[in-house]
């Protein structure tokens, strides 16, 4: 078990987070321990009830917000079963990336359980689209023996457009901890007032986000990756997609996607049972590199 305290990015509320081990086939379960009785949120695509600037789980008129960074860390480290106890409605933002959650999980350690890991293997392409012309956004899943993400962003902002706007990450070849986990969320000063009027971004600061004015990045330390903006979108997508309940064996491609479109993609996948299958591997050597030797390398980094 491991515990930390932080503030919610959108609520600005102080929250205590506790990570506890869970039995086989539990999944990732968020628990609002500040409520009586305690409300549990099992990570599933169909309980995502709000996607404005975050993925929000909704159950029994209660919410747990901004789950994507912690879910991303769990996916990146191969964590299948975990209880996440929180004392408020939002997961703490920490430094705006997944690296703090990676550190907490590595501190707690991992225990191999007596059950085969379950995967969702995509068998047929699944795609969702919104908008048209220059405003079109889309995301798709296609069959792939592993897990790969290819993401394109476009913000029409000099600080963002001056960096690489497309990134492709194949976890058979690169490390989640080194190549994705440290990418921070980002925002624009001109949007702060309107977001706070909507009850969002109340806990945002230069300590937990990349912040930009109309022309430049305001953080004194600059970027952690030369393509940190698009890498953070990949980090978010990994967390959003893990809400399907099992790791995916698929290639994910996205053009200006976000939490809402990622969730619609999962719902579209689940609505077509012929497009996927649940698989396990009796021997590690038969599993894709993304989930075999690669996971051993991630934990060797502790």
**Residues with active-site annotation:** 259
The partner residues of 28 in beta bridges, in order of sequence, read 82
- Give the Cα separation of 135 and 23 in Å (integer): 44
Cβ atoms of 71 and 259 within 8 Å: the answer is: no
Note the maximum CA span of the chain.
54
Given a contact cutoff of 8 angstroms between Cβ atoms, the answer to whether 192 and 132 are in contact is no
Where are any strands of DSSP class E within 134-235?
A: 137-142, 147-152, 166-170, 186-188, 210-212
């Amino acid at each position: 078990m491991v515990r930390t305290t932080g503030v919610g990015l959108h609520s600005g509320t102080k929250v205590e987070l506790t990570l506890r081990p869970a039995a086989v086939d539990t999944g990732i379960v968020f628990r609002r321990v500040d409520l009586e009785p305690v409300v549990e949120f099992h990570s599933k695509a169909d309980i995502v009830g709000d996607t404005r600037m975050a993925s929000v789980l909704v159950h029994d008129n209660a919410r747990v917000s901004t789950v994507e960074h912690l879910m991303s860390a769990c996916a990146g480290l191969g964590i299948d079963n975990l209880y996440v106890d929180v004392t408020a409605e939002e997961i703490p933002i920490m430094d705006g990336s997944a690296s703090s959650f990676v550190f907490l999980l590595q501190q707690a350690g991992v225990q191999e359980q007596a059950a085969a890991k379950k995967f969702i293997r995509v068998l047929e392409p699944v795609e969702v689209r919104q908008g048209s012309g220059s405003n079109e956004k889309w995301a798709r899943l296609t069959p792939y023996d592993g897990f790969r993400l290819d993401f394109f962003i476009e913000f029409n902002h000099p600080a963002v457009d001056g960096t690489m706007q497309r990134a492709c990450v194949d976890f058979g070849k690169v490390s989640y901890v080194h190549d994705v986990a440290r990418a921070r969320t980002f925002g624009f000063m001109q949007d702060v007032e309107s977001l706070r009027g909507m009850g969002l971004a109340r806990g945002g600061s230069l300590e937990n986000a990349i912040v930009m004015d109309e022309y430049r990045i305001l953080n004194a330390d600059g970027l952690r990756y030369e393509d940190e903006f698009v890498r953070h979108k990949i980090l978010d997508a990994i967390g959003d997609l893990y809400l399907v309940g099992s790791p995916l064996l698929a290639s994910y491609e996205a053009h200006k996607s976000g939490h809402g479109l990622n969730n619609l993609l999962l719902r579209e996948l689940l609505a077509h049972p012929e497009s996927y299958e649940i698989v396990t591997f009796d021997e590690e050597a038969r599993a894709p590199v993304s989930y075999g030797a690669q996971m051993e390398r991630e934990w060797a980094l502790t």
